[in-house]
Structure 1
Amino acid sequence: MKKIISIVLLSFLIFSIPLSAQKKGFYENVQKKNINKLLDDLNTLAANADFKNYFDLFAQESQYIGTDATEVWQKQEFKDWAKPYFDKKTTWNFKSLKRNIYFSKDGNYAWFDEVLDTQMKICRGSGVLEKIGGKWKIKQYVLSATIPNEVIDEVTKIKTPIEDVFIQKLKNN
């Protein structure tokens, strides 16, 4: 009888571990699909100048960091900055070329990085999402302009006079 119980317990352990791993993998795949849709929608809504639905994808307490060193906005600040562009239908049109998504152990946070095709050529989008009320919301989005290593010296020369002023201002604060 002890042998039978041992075999049953051992069988349960052997089969339950892969099932829980499969369940976790399935859950992550579903969540990745949801996040991919959210980020693709973010790009489409911006391209279509859909102000309300674009900003509904951001958490109430969220931040957008743009390509310029001065562009660090809380949600309302970003909305205020972006509103004229949405009103004039002169928004941006980004297309994701490659995206990576990662999850916290508890499954309540995700972070991503992506390579984007934009009017500025290749940019990088990255950010953090939080599951709020069962829905993913953007907590932070960072847009970075990429600079190929082959031209970094020339780009540095161009931006030096502008950014030296900003660097000095930051050092003085």
Structure 2
Amino acid sequence: MVPRESMIRHSTLVERRGAQFGGSELAVRDKCRSTGDNDRVVEMIMKRLIPLLFVLATAGAHPALAQSAQVQAAQVQSEADETTDVAAVLDSFHQAASDADGDEYFGLLTPTARFIGTDAGERWSVEDFRAYAMPYFSQGKGWTYHPRDRVISILPIECRCVASFDELLDNASYGETRGSGVLIRSAEGWKIDQYVLSFAVPNGVAKDVVNLIKAAPVEEAH
């Protein structure tokens, strides 16, 4: 089930955490709530870089320490750039849907991507999803989700070319929903390989919702 509304305003705030100076591993998980809060993003990154810069400035007599600090500073910047690039793709994806821009929307997906909708039967290939959505996009009809509380993780593999994410989405018709999925870095940059849209069901009404689902007719899978 794909909602159709208009216009999107992004709310994406980046919180960086998980850096341990001198540790064996650096874990970065980004919570994005508002892209307009760039000053706070810069402040957070600088808080992580300043101690390393201090070490570099005072470690002339200790080349090994200086080299370690340089490596860690470069890693902090690299991971910040990676997660920022992933967030930008997701923001563009939502914006394109709101603007009914089919070329931009489907251009952000890998050729083998899957869009998993809220109905159990919705497992769209790019080709099938394009055939479904383009007639609406051509009429200027899109759907709007406002993303927030986004978490991005770059998988700890050598190529650093796979990212996972989850985010909450506000929608005028369906309220609070959730998006999650995977991106792959290609020669053309980060592309969405899977996007899963789901309803966020409060535990207190879960049984009632399940009973309604059981009673509903099952739609044909895509």
TM-score between both structures, scaled by the size of structure 1? 0.84
SS in 1 for 2:62: helix
- Structural mapping, 1:21-32, within 5 Å: 21-32=72-83
Structure 1 residue 134: Cα displacement: 4.8
In the other structure, the counterpart of 1:38 is 89
Structure 1 residue 157: Cα displacement: 1.8
Q: Which segment is superposed worse, 88-97 or 37-46? A: 88-97
In the other structure, the counterpart of 1:112 is 165
Question: 2-side partners of 1:148 and 1:17: how far apart?
Answer: 47
Question: 2-side partners of 1:66 and 1:17: how far apart?
Answer: 46
Higher helix share goes to which structure? 1
Question: 2-side partners of 1:43 and 1:139: how far apart?
Answer: 15
Question: 2-side partners of 1:134 and 1:73: how far apart?
Answer: 23
- Retained in 1: the 8 A contact 2:83–2:154? no
1:90 aligns with 2:144: no
- Structural mapping, 1:79-158, within 5 Å: 79-105=130-156, 106=158, 107-118=160-171, 119-158=173-212
1:61 aligns with 2:104: no
Structure 1 residue 90: Cα displacement: 2.5
SS in 1 for 2:143: coil
1:71 aligns with 2:122: yes
Alignment RMSD (CA, Å): 2.3
SS in 1 for 2:181: strand
- Retained in 1: the 8 A contact 2:114–2:126? yes
- Retained in 1: the 8 A contact 2:100–2:141? yes
Unaligned runs of 5+ in 1: 1-7
In the other structure, the counterpart of 2:54 is none
**Residues 38-61 of structure 1: CA distance to partner in whole angstroms, max 9, x if unpaired?**
111111110010000111000112
Structure 1 residue 13: Cα displacement: 2.0
Q: Percent identity?
A: 31
Question: 1-side partners of 2:202 and 2:136: how far apart?
Answer: 29
**Residues 19-49 of structure 1: CA distance to partner in whole angstroms, max 9, x if unpaired?**
2122111111111111111111111110010
In the other structure, the counterpart of 2:50 is none
Give aligned pairs, total: 160
Name the structure, 1 or 2, with higher relative contact order (CA <8 Å, separation 6+): 2
